[in-house]
Structure 1
Amino acid sequence: MSVLERVKGAERFDDERDSWDADRAENERLRQVRRDVKREMMERIGFDEVARMATESDAARAREELRPVVEAVLNTSGVEGLAPADRARVVNDILDDVVGLGPLQSLLDDDSVSEIMVNGCVSAFYEQGGKLHAMPDVFESDDQIRVIIDRIISPLGRRVDERSPLVNARLPSGYRVNAVIPPIAIDGPALTIRKFSDRISSLDQLVELGSLPAWYAQLLSFAVALRQDLAVVGGTGSGKTTLLNALSCEIALGERIVTIEDSAELKFSRHPHVIRLEAREASIEGEGAVTIRDLVTNALRMRPDRIVVGEVRGAECIDMLQAMSTGHDGSLTTLHAGSAREAIVRLTLLSRYGIDLPGDLIEEQIAMALDGIVMSMRSSGGARFVSTYTGVSRAESGGVELTEYVSFDRATRAWELVREPPFIEEAVRAGALNKKEVARWRASCPGSSERLLRCA
């Protein structure tokens, strides 16, 4: 590199540093304006009155009542040189602080944001379109984060303090909240908000998004209609709950469904006969806990046609498997695992929390209870896909035998029907599926119908 190039590079670095310093100085100036205007606004109205308005259930009304006061204070504060956009930002930020969730309010209002993660004052991120984005310097102190946490959980009858430094809760909107404070959280209060969109509620919508092809969606629709017991498997944030929601929409309207979840996320707005149950943590006194296992056991006494468990993660696994193999065909659940084989291993381990039996006997139970494993995955770019579909059956020598029905190539993002599930032909012979409908489906699958029939 020549001397001239090094000099130009140094000048470019200096220019970028000067621009960054200027932005930082302007942001600090806006922060000071917000602090001054907010303090004067609260003094004019009265702290008690502002507190009352902040706790009102109608946040939109409280914002409209406070907005003229904030604007009036800003107009008389002597602040000069603020652009109209900055003035509007200052007003909205103050209103978010007083009657909303501060810097997080705009993210909560944005339907394209799926998750918000606050790591103390050190950093904060949000997920949008499957990708993480950093939020620069949004919190000034740990106390500001604690105020937001308290504002979220107080209306839910929950609290977080040194005796109980972590909390899981569900907002009325259905969003799931997890908060952890010091001394458990070393670098300051940590807050995670998982948002769930109502926009995706069917397999057709997943097809439109490119998450799976139409012929695959039809196959899954057949599986649900024919009461196959399915487990949706994948990693965190891979779209398991979204897929479970879509599969649940394929259940006939005349069936009675009982859903069981740690935090209620499943939507059955179009189904007339649904009972939604939600687990409950113990109180501060250590009483009143209702576990997923308690709910699964109770659900069996509620005459369900199908049981849908949001996620199995403990001893309730054995109860779920027993329900699937004792007259509740067509039940659905989700599970954290990286492959179909890992799912079987994990189901075996979880079942041993609920019953003291050898692993091979538990595998026999799994083979009799579960019919299929549908994998959900997220690519490195953030896109979510319904990947493989694997059949579960009992091997001749005992234990679980896995048969791949649908394969997925991550590199090319292509699906292939490896083998037609045997329940399709069985349903045609029994008259449970229309021959012409199945023929159209076979014709839409990749490869010739003759090859598919040979595989069946």
Structure 2
Amino acid sequence: MTDAALVARVRAEVAAGIDPAGLLAVYADPSRRVLLRERVRVAARGNANDADLDAICAELFGFGPLQPLLDDPLVTDVLVNGPREIFVEREGRLERTAVAFHGPEEVADLAHRIAASVGRELTLERPFVDARMRDGSRANAVIAPVGGPTLSIRKFARISVPIAGRAPSWTAAGLHPDAGALLEACVRAGLTIVVSGATGSGKSTLLRSLAGAIPADERL
């Protein structure tokens, strides 16, 4: 059986019963991903190894060839300039990857699925979408005639570090412990704090850390 035929069979037996608009959200849930993978394994009837199962699951339910990049905890951004021009930002550095789509149609299909997952639609009249995924990640998709198809995905960062004290991560990021203590004091005093910065500079991480300094008896 060809790979295409195998994927088609799994699609018919497993994916057909799932709302296409909810596929990405379903696959993003770790427990549901395990269940989907087991259903795919059964549908494959022994014709797929572990790597094949991962690839089929990613194609039918996830972000296709981008899924391993999004699963990498060190990757913060994935940028698709074309089917074979895919970059990631890893630990603050932009690098080109060897990952590739089969063609622009596959990129466009993923763009449409991303839009559908947030109740939006990509059309000739509105060929672009900015979407906040259910896991907090942000995605931007563009299709013809504006350009593309292109994609950019910014993963939702779940990390939070103490704002005060001598936290190595903050020191490495350039925030002196004394500055952290000052910010914590400002939060506890109820002062207004403006957080601004370039894309990828760590605004959301800093905001979560500032929120962690809010006294427990304060109502949010």
**Equivalent residue number for residue 256 of structure 1:** 219
Selected match of 1:242 from 194, 205, 211: 205
Q: Which amino acid aligns with 1:224?
A: V
Deviations 1:87-108 (A, max 9, x none): 5433321221122211111222
- Counterpart CA distance in 1 for 2:120 and 2:166 is 36
Is 1:62 aligned to 2:36, yes or no?
yes
Q: Which has the higher contact order (CA 8 A, sep 6+)?
A: 2
Letter in 2 for 1:114: T
Letter in 2 for 1:191: L
**Compared with structure 1, are the counterparts of its residues 205 and 239 closer, same or farther at alpha carbon in structure 2 (3 Å cutoff)?**
farther
Which residue type is aligned with residue 178 of structure 1?
N
1:194-213 matches, within 5 Å, as: 194-204=154-164, 207-209=167-169, 210=171, 211=173, 212-213=175-176
C-alpha distance in 1 between matches for 2:83 and 2:38: 30
With over 3 angstroms needed to count, the CA separation of the structure-2 counterparts of 1:96 and 1:45, relative to structure 1, is closer
What is the aligned-residue RMSD (CA, Å)? 2.6
Secondary structure of 1:230's partner? Answer: coil
Is 1:191–2:138 an aligned residue pair? no
What are the ranges of 5 or more consecutive residues in structure 2 without an aligned counterpart?
27-31
Higher strand share: 1
Contact 1:117–1:124 under 8 Å retained in 2: yes
Q: Tell me whether 1:180 sits opposite 2:137 in the alignment.
A: no
Contact 1:103 1:138 in 2 (8 A): yes
Matched-pair contact (CA < 8 Å) for 1:166–1:180: yes
Match of 1:169 in 2: 131
Could you tell me how far apart the structure 2 residues matched to 1:232 and 1:196 are? Answer: 18
- Cα distance in 1, alignment partners of residues 165 and 56 from structure 2: 38
Match 2:15 to one of 47, 50, 58: 50
Given the two structures, how large is their TM-score scaled by the length of structure 1? 0.42
Please say which structure displays the higher CA radius of gyration: 1
SS state of the match for residue 126, structure 2? coil
In structure 1, stretches of 5+ residues that fail to align are 1-32, 75-86, 258-456
1:240-265 CA deviation, whole Å, 9 max, x = no partner? 222122112222233333xxxxxxxx
Equivalent residue number for residue 29 of structure 2: none
How far does residue 44 in structure 1 lie from its aligned partner after superposition?
4.2
Q: Identical aligned pairs, as a percentage?
A: 31
Tell whether 2:195 aligns with 1:232: yes
Aligned residues between the structures: 208
* Aligned residue identity for 1:193: I
- Three-state SS of the structure 2 residue aligned to 1:256 is coil
How does 1:113-152 map onto structure 2 within 5 Å? Answer: 113-152=75-114
Post-superposition offset of 1:131: 0.9
